[in-house]
Amino acid sequence: MGEFEYKEAKQQEYRRKSEQILKSLPGFCRTYERGIEGTVSAITIYAYLQRIHVFFVYLHDNNSYFANKDITQITYDDISQLEAEDIEEFNHYIRTGKASNGHDNKEASVNHYLCALNSLWDYAITHGRLRHNVIKDIRRGKKKKREVVTLNQNDENGFFQSVNYGTNLTRHQEAYRNDVTVARDNAICLTLVRTGLRVSELVGINLDDINFDDCYFHVNRKEDKIDNVYFSDQVREALEHYLSLRPLLNPDPSERALFLVTIGKYMGTRLSVRSVQKLVKKYAVAGAPQVGSRMTPHKMRSTYATNLLRASSGDLTLVQEALNHESPSTTSIYLKKRDQDLKDARNMIDERQ
């Protein structure tokens, strides 16, 4: 399966999941889903429909007007009766964790629900089904400023000591190590921290997507943008070493995925996003305990961004292009991290005298 076929298969998976949710939603939600199809990804549509479903279940269970209505029979006329107070009550429901695991949700979660509902209301207004978007009457809470978590040089050294030599791994974790697993994990982790690839992009890479002459991956990025992502000589060496051992996994000749499962009944098949998340966490906890519990593949992307910003003398445009960010404001969070690094280092030279 080629990279683009793999990504299309994932899109189809989310379309099927959306179809299942639509069966328990008001009929107009199907029209809405068709209306936004093509403007956002299949996974975004699925996420929106999940949150919209939570909203209608809440209305059915907590609002007397909707208590005796089957959710699938709710109409635009019904939801036109909702006022700001009704939405604020729903926000409280989400904020206090009653819709999930009982733990208080972050304000960002509440805003995600409002974003999904706002999309539905905007669609209805555009098509003349509603006159007023009550969601816009709600004041959104301020999100906490996101801390940029990265691996510093000592963290990175410890991390790769754990990857390559098993430093501080448990006996159970050590039992699953072999030459091909170590080579694969080193190639994965170096690729993440030296290219800034998203984990979904990484697992989608196929053998045919690698150009070793010019050192780049041909990648299908967010919103189906095609891009060449360049890698360093160090990454190339790690990839070549892993590829020399890849045949030991006995993959089916039709399996073109670069990174494969190395043990168990799924050996020789494409590695999953979840597997990469788990292996990054494992090595970070063992080798970089200061940040280990918070380390994810996306934090390794943050590490790449911060390091590239330093190496390029603050070239924000270069970093924006490398990360495939739409807006410079998204990239600018790494400037704050760099400013903090400079502040922390202000006495470094004095202390060496």
The pTM of the whole model exceeds 0.75: no
- pLDDT in the model for residue 323: 77
**Structural domain range at position 96:** 11-137
DSSP secondary-structure letter at 68? T
Q: What is the count of structural domains for the chain?
A: 2
Residues 226 and 162 in one domain: yes
Residue 6 domain-assigned (yes or no) = no
pLDDT along the chain (353 residues), means of 10: 67 93 97 92 94 96 94 96 95 82 70 95 96 91 69 95 97 95 98 94 94 92 78 96 98 96 96 96 96 93 86 75 68 58 52 49
Contacts of 60 (CB under 8 A, 6+ apart): 66, 67, 69, 71
Mean pLDDT of the chain: 88
Residues 277 and 204 in one domain: yes
- In whole angstroms, what is the distance from residue 132 CA to residue 280 CA? 47
- pLDDT in the model for residue 161: 97
- Residues labelled catalytic: 198, 222, 298, 301, 325, 334
- pLDDT in the model for residue 321: 78
Residues 102 and 227 in one domain: no
Residue 144 domain-assigned (yes or no) = no
Write phi, then psi, for 229 (nearest 5 degrees): -110, 115
- pLDDT in the model for residue 108: 82
Residue 90 domain-assigned (yes or no) = yes
Position 96, amino acid: T
